[in-house]
Structure 1
């Protein structure tokens, strides 16, 4: 036997080499769902929205209270679907099942069980999507493309099983975001994924209208630990007033607990954070047996805390901490979640901070503080209503007057009915010790906000923060001011 042949025979066996290259084929889908395939096919993706179908996808015809996916089969196949999962015979390649929603769940569980991937689940009141993207970037880099994640904010009762069903058999890591707005929603999601690592980013009064208190929010978020696999790790913020409560939930399940934050007893503890010229931070962390120093590209105190959670999760998942540091150093803001966009104005450029996707009292304060720390000729904030605050809404909106004053914001455009409470507070004209009083306008929707900002007029060196709950559509304002004219 030649030396070359001997080396080939000695090549280490890898279970992943025996797994399929295609995401799904007809036989595998039929076996997972108990359905019947009409044709043989191989698929590269799974999709539930006919508008997002790509060539090679299997379209799942889900049925809801107001919509039936079977009505969009033609659209899905026109866009390149190779087959559909349906609950009735159709004139397209398909897998026939009794219930398409159950079939999606069955497919998700089959994907989970066939893959050796280490699974990481993320929830929290603020920062889920950004932390998910950072963890994915770190693991994808170190595994050379063998990591998978939820796309967009697919974090609900449909998005999580869909994301899991898309998990390639040969993946080494899977990163899944989980959200909720009512009690009882996290447990079913974590049961789908059965993660090896579960991370809570933070607890804040988000969806408090439906849960009633921050304690109830902490209890619901802690349900993510109930799905942890044997020997799993619960990662918990150490600086929350609800830390002990979350630790109690994790302890009752007998899982490994790792805390992160500034607290002296945090397992992943912040030692130092120094601002850097690019707007981010140089962070030094004590992880117990080692210290790390890395750069976080994203600006803001909240991203310093997020980075500690990222490091804790990557380590618990068996990932590469050096790759995590590089990922954090290279991350750019996501659309609607911190993207920094240039605006062409007379005499030069203005900067727009796009936080238009979501808003709650905690994230509002964090981004207003970030705006106050950003060098600017003038600081302008376009702030939209924070949703799902219920009876707490008037107080939480009015309380934003304080961080607006602290950030020395020159002008505020308030958008939405609930912002009248903040308008009333700002209208009192209370000056700080130096006599600073921000100007403000109040309007009802994004179209009026666009007109108000145009009337105000942007000049070179201005920085504009745009933040509000997604239902207001402030993304339209961002597009209006940052899109390049044809």
Structure 2
């Protein structure tokens, strides 16, 4: 297998100076996960990456991208010296994209970027080899890192692009130069940095600025801001709308959300199509419709793409479901966990609550004869001046009628807790650690439980506490 980067190639790409004649088979920014033979990139984040270069080389790194020779590192160590490490990484990404012969898909959206990227990885993988980041690497260093890691012989690459502030998406999209770009949805998220939902739509639509000539601009056509996306798509390439409104070339005619799957009846260019997603949630069926639009733009076999959608499942913290067995002897004593703890905004939380509402608890197996639908919800961050109303408004969602108890974490979720009917109001805690300490008293065999909140709220602690119930008899004290 040929090297990902040789010293000469990397030096030419970055305008830097290579020390030694080395080659690397990967690119890493983290010494905790670096593999032998990879290039370590000494980015400055919470700490200066130069402090970890010696450790990276000791772990077998093939080279390091640096702006100076760090203390404790030999002057003849395999290094690539550049003026600025972030710029060097970006230049590697640009050079990698320039030599790539496959087709590139870029994805953005307020909700569903990462799950759609993973769905695309699975579906495009049925048609050829795919490169995509293993994590949600979608920011100013994540996109160039994903590109710099891209093997030159892949058939497809999927690049996830995100933002927190205006002006972030266009430069990353121009770096990725996609043949197809997709916006999943525009919803209230990062409102603290934008004046309005329209502003978010314009920023998301900036992904089309990077389209290759003749490229396809795919967007959700069901939104209040869809006309903004349509105009931006039309200006940049070939516009394609998907969604549930009649008239879209990719029309989602009917969605049936079950306990474990979602079945979609659709029309693609007027022809009927039926597909199944192996996870409950209307939003998954919608994003799958967008994925099929991507496959159509790439002129891939529709039947094979539809089949491949059925092979995808969400990753940890993004709606993955698991059954926790509470008793080693009485194995029917279980709790079903929906782990959606990675992130949250009003749209994604609404979608997750719909999934919980559709779930089927088990009855007559626990202390409480009736199995329950229970939610642990943490603050949604970066919502701006309307954050209190947006949290309280969750109480009015139709799905709440089928949810038995809601436990709330954080000062913003206090607004939801106060807006809930008393019979649905669970515990409120300032922090996830305090909430996690009481889950064994909250839950019983037969329950279905959802955990969701912004990443900084640490709902993963609640998830871990629920999983640990499987190591103790049901009904034990927390």
TM over 0.5: yes
Residue of structure 1 aligned with 2:430, choices 426, 444, 448? 444
Is 1:462 aligned to 2:447, yes or no?
yes
TM-score of the superposed pair, with normalisation by structure 1: 0.90
SS of 2:253's partner is strand
Task: Write the mapping of 1:192-341 to structure 2, written as runs, cut at 5 A.
Answer: 192-253=175-236, 255-275=237-257, 279-288=260-269, 290-341=271-322
SS of 2:323's partner is strand
Residue 25 of structure 1 is matched in structure 2 by: 6
Contact 1:139 1:323 in 2 (8 A): no
Task: Write the mapping of 1:169-180 to structure 2, written as runs, cut at 5 A.
Answer: 169-180=152-163
Residue of structure 2 aligned with 1:168, choices 148, 151, 155? 151
Contact 1:201 1:309 in 2 (8 A): yes
Deviation at 1:244, TM superposition (A): 0.8
Cα 1:50–1:404, aligned 2, differ >3 Å: closer, same or farther? farther
Task: Write the mapping of 1:129-208 to structure 2, written as runs, cut at 5 A.
Answer: 129-143=114-128, 146-208=129-191
Is 1:384 aligned to 2:378, yes or no?
yes
Alpha-carbon distance in 1 for matches of 2:44, 2:429: 38
Residue of structure 2 aligned with 1:104, choices 89, 102, 108? 89
Alpha-carbon distance in 1 for matches of 2:399, 2:253: 29
Deviation at 1:256, TM superposition (A): 0.2
Residue 67 of structure 2 is matched in structure 1 by: 87
Contact 1:405 1:438 in 2 (8 A): no
SS of 1:358's partner is coil
Tell me the C-alpha RMSD between the 2 structures.
1.8
Residues 453-486 of structure 1 deviation map (CA, whole Å, 9 limit, x = unaligned): 2222x22221000000000111122122225659
Cα 1:107–1:453, aligned 2, differ >3 Å: closer, same or farther? same
Cα 1:43–1:323, aligned 2, differ >3 Å: closer, same or farther? farther
Contact 1:383 1:468 in 2 (8 A): yes
Deviation at 1:170, TM superposition (A): 0.4
Alpha-carbon distance in 1 for matches of 2:426, 2:5: 55
Residues 62-107 of structure 1 deviation map (CA, whole Å, 9 limit, x = unaligned): 234x521111012212322111111123422111222211111111
Alpha-carbon distance in 2 for matches of 1:28, 1:128: 32
Is 1:412 aligned to 2:406, yes or no?
yes
Deviation at 1:333, TM superposition (A): 2.2
TM-score of the superposed pair, with normalisation by structure 2: 0.91
Alpha-carbon distance in 2 for matches of 1:32, 1:56: 19
Contact 1:119 1:176 in 2 (8 A): yes
Unaligned segments of structure 1, at least 5 residues: 1-19, 430-436
Residue 424 of structure 1 is matched in structure 2 by: 418
SS of 1:98's partner is coil
SS of 1:84's partner is strand
Alpha-carbon distance in 2 for matches of 1:261, 1:340: 26
Deviation at 1:387, TM superposition (A): 0.4
Deviation at 1:290, TM superposition (A): 3.6
Q: Which runs of 4+ in 1 moved over 6 A?
A: none
Contact 2:257 2:282 in 1 (8 A): no
Deviation at 1:317, TM superposition (A): 2.4
Residues 29-70 of structure 1 deviation map (CA, whole Å, 9 limit, x = unaligned): 111112222222221110112222111110011234x52111
Residue 52 of structure 1 is matched in structure 2 by: 33
Cα 1:405–1:273, aligned 2, differ >3 Å: closer, same or farther? closer
Cα 1:404–1:76, aligned 2, differ >3 Å: closer, same or farther? farther
Residues 242-293 of structure 1 deviation map (CA, whole Å, 9 limit, x = unaligned): 111111112223x1011001111111011333445x6212222211164322
Alpha-carbon distance in 1 for matches of 2:400, 2:380: 20
Is 1:76 aligned to 2:70, yes or no?
no
Task: Write the mapping of 1:122-133 to structure 2, written as runs, cut at 5 A.
Answer: 122-133=107-118
Residue 62 of structure 1 is matched in structure 2 by: 43
SS of 2:136's partner is coil
Residue of structure 1 aligned with 2:389, choices 389, 395, 412? 395
Residue 368 of structure 2 is matched in structure 1 by: none
Alpha-carbon distance in 1 for matches of 2:79, 2:304: 42
SS of 1:52's partner is coil
Alpha-carbon distance in 2 for matches of 1:320, 1:41: 41
Unaligned segments of structure 2, at least 5 residues: 362-370, 473-478
Deviation at 1:318, TM superposition (A): 3.2
Deviation at 1:368, TM superposition (A): 0.8
Contact 1:70 1:86 in 2 (8 A): yes
Alpha-carbon distance in 2 for matches of 1:338, 1:405: 17
Contact 1:209 1:392 in 2 (8 A): no
Cα 1:70–1:332, aligned 2, differ >3 Å: closer, same or farther? same
SS of 2:219's partner is strand
SS of 1:341's partner is strand
The count of aligned residue pairs is: 453
Cα 1:54–1:323, aligned 2, differ >3 Å: closer, same or farther? farther
Cα 1:56–1:318, aligned 2, differ >3 Å: closer, same or farther? farther
Deviation at 1:404, TM superposition (A): 7.2
